[in-house]
Structure 1
Amino acid sequence: MERHEIETFLTLAEELHFRRTSERLGLAQGRVSQTIKKLERRIGVPLFERTSRRVALTPTGQQLREDLLPVRRQLQRAIDRAVATGRGITGVLRIGYSSAMVAEILLKVADTFRSRYPDCEVEIEEVQLFDPFGPIRSGQVHLQVTERPVDEPDLTLGPVLLSERRVLMVPTRHPFAQRASVSLEDLAESKLLSVAGSVPQYWLDHHYPRQTPQGRPIPHGQATTYWTELLNLVGMGKGVSPASEAAERYHARPGVTWVPFQNAPPIEYGFIWPTSGENARIRAFVELCPSVVRPRTPGAAGK
């Protein structure tokens, strides 16, 4: 059997509908019917039972389907491996992340990536917020998903992988904890805790501003090295700090209440990679993501 015959038969065996099969394969309906009839003549028995209302596999057709499915998978793996080798999608791709829900998504995409490109291994590792660009500049990771904004001349910005609603972590006994929501102006009424380290000032100003949209100063408290330290300080009543809504699923703890912002932009997590280090592995992984990850709008149930 030729490959197009295998594909036509298996697609019809799945759809059990000639029109849908033709649309899925991009073939004329008559071509699908002709291919199936040719197979049936070659085998000597019907593969499908056809009536005006339904299409069903015969016992012989069912057996052929079960025998051909592994053949199709093997053919596809062979083609994928040849394409991957030709495009240079081999070796190891190390990907960095800075939040738990991003890691969850990357692991899911990595599973699909490995099955499509079996000669390329994917390794996922955490990148700390206090040094967001150190690992990617040193070559420790080749590709990274990190919180926007990113404005670095040596780094290429890829697509946004995830966008999450911004919330404010507040001590449970804080007056804000009783509110349905807070605004950016409310930050002037509490001490804002932030991260410290090799973090660009433009990034800090975006996530931990020094003044409200109306120009009121925002008091700042302790700056910590690790984001989880902020969580502990909030729980101890030392101040408030922004986070993404999904982070509560991973970091909920007694003493901390998560209050939605009314007017703050979402937190966006996007791909970055060294401009000089772009390669086929990086492009293939980034291009694969939309087919694996369902787009999520902010507010759907992140550091």
Structure 2
Amino acid sequence: MLERLELEAFLALAEELHFGRTAERLHVSTGRISQTIKKLERQVGAPLFERTSRRVTLTAIGRQLHEDLRQAHQQLEAGLARAVNAAVGIHGTLRAGYSAPWNGNLMIKAADAFHSRHPDCDVHIQEVQLHDPLGPLRAGALDLQLTEFPIDEPDITTGPVIAHEPRALIVSADHPLARRDSVCLEDLAHSPLVTITGTIPPYWLEEHYPLHTPAGRPITRGPGATYWQELLSLVATGKGISPICARAAHYYSRPDLAFIPFSDAPLIVYGLLWPSDRENARVRAFVKTLSEIAGMPPPRPALPAGGPG
């Protein structure tokens, strides 16, 4: 009869093919994984893995056992998930939003994992426009979303931080800063700042589109944009410059724009949030799944209401 650790250690090692990563994944020591696998091999009566100083591979018997146990484990997990779903009400539809395409990719991965765990619950994902970052949540169109912090609203619960991303500055390709390898926050005082306009908390704007440099120099406000594509066009035509996540260069790159990394700007913090009065089992389960997919620590049992995560 297989013990739970033997089953989980074997399946994890068969996927990772690395004792260290398997130990990290199961939160035990590498020695514990090695001992567990040796015990299982004694029970089977044959090696399940071929080990060298450079690699770990499954033997033929190991491959067959992995296929048999993987299917059985999936059936057990699905059965348990259905029982849990029935008990806590994880069914129906979960509507999740995101504010940036790099977060959208993460959301899709989390939605796939969530649906495999909770097959009675569908996940619908949509982009949230920055000109109205909290509108869909408050209107009931979304159950939760992944967006830039800070968010400090009395009716919104902020959950765990999911990612930290470096900032860059977008300038037109013929702007003097375009020839630089990096910029600093003081450079924001040299050109009008193209910003996002809409129903946006003032403290959020100050975090991402400040009015003054760290040295206190005023930053001139340029035209405002409602959508990202509009902002990019304003910058490309020389109407101003604008800060953005550095990863945006992979999504919005074009010949009339330059993305220059900041040398001194704080990281952009992305986190989860949802309406405080509509927190439920679906939301909590998705928060847990997304945190795992992002490689972040699992959320605390009691999630804080209000304030940055």
When normalised by structure 1's length, the TM-score is 0.80
Answering whether residue 91 of structure 2 is matched by residue 93 of structure 1, we say no
Aligned to 1:218: 219
Question: Quick one: distance in 1 between partners of 2:200 and 2:242?
Answer: 17
Instruction: Tell me, yes or no, if structure 1 residue 195 matches structure 2 residue 196.
Output: yes
CA distance in structure 2 between the partners assigned to 1:12 and 1:207 by the alignment: 47
- One-letter code aligned to 1:230: L
State the partner residue of 1:149: 150
Change (3 A) 1:208 1:72: closer
Q: Which residue of 1 aligns with 2:291?
A: 290
Structure 1 residue 190: deviation in Å? 0.6
* Residue type at the aligned position of 1:189: H
**Structure 1 pair 13/105, CA: closer, same or farther in 2 (3 Å)?**
closer
User: CA RMSD for the aligned pairs?
Assistant: 3.4
CA distance in 2, matches of 1:246, 1:226: 17
Structure 1 residue 248 displacement after superposition: 0.7
Matching residue of 1:128: 129
Alpha-carbon shift at residue 202 of structure 1 (Å): 1.4
User: Secondary structure at 1:123's aligned position in 2?
Assistant: strand
Q: Does 1:204 align with 2:205?
A: yes
CA distance in 1, matches of 2:250, 2:201: 28
Q: % of aligned pairs identical?
A: 45
Which structure has the bigger radius of gyration?
A: 1
Per the alignment, residue 300 of structure 1 pairs with none
Please tell me whether the aligned partners of residues 166 and 260 of structure 1 are also in contact (alpha carbons under 8 angstroms): yes
Matches within 5 A, 1:58-137: 66-137=67-138
Note the C-alpha offset of 1:33: 4.7
Aligned residue type for 2:119? P
Shift of 1:256: 0.7
Asked whether the equivalents of residues 148 and 269 of structure 1 are also in contact (C-alpha less than 8 Å), the reply is yes
In the alignment, structure 1 segments of 5+ residues that lack a partner are 38-45, 296-303
Conservation of the 8 A alpha-carbon contact between 2:6 and 2:40: no
Distance 1:6 1:266 in 2: 40
User: Residues 293 and 58 from structure 1, CA distance in 2 versus in 1: closer, same or farther, beyond 3 angstroms?
Assistant: closer
CA contact (8 A) 2:11 2:70 kept: no
Q: CA offset at residue 289 of structure 1? A: 2.4
Number of paired residues? 280
Quick one: which amino acid aligns to residue 48 of structure 1? A
Match of 1:48 among 17, 27, 46: 46
Structure 2, unaligned runs of 5 or more: 297-309
Q: Aligned AA for 2:195?
A: S
Query: Aligned partners of 1:204, 1:227: CA distance in 2, in Å?
Result: 15
Runs of 4+ in 1 over 6 A off after TM superposition: 20-24, 56-62
The 5 Å alignment of 1:182-261 reads: 182-261=183-262
- 1:181 lines up with 2:179 in the alignment: no
1: CA distance, partners of 2:105 / 2:243: 21
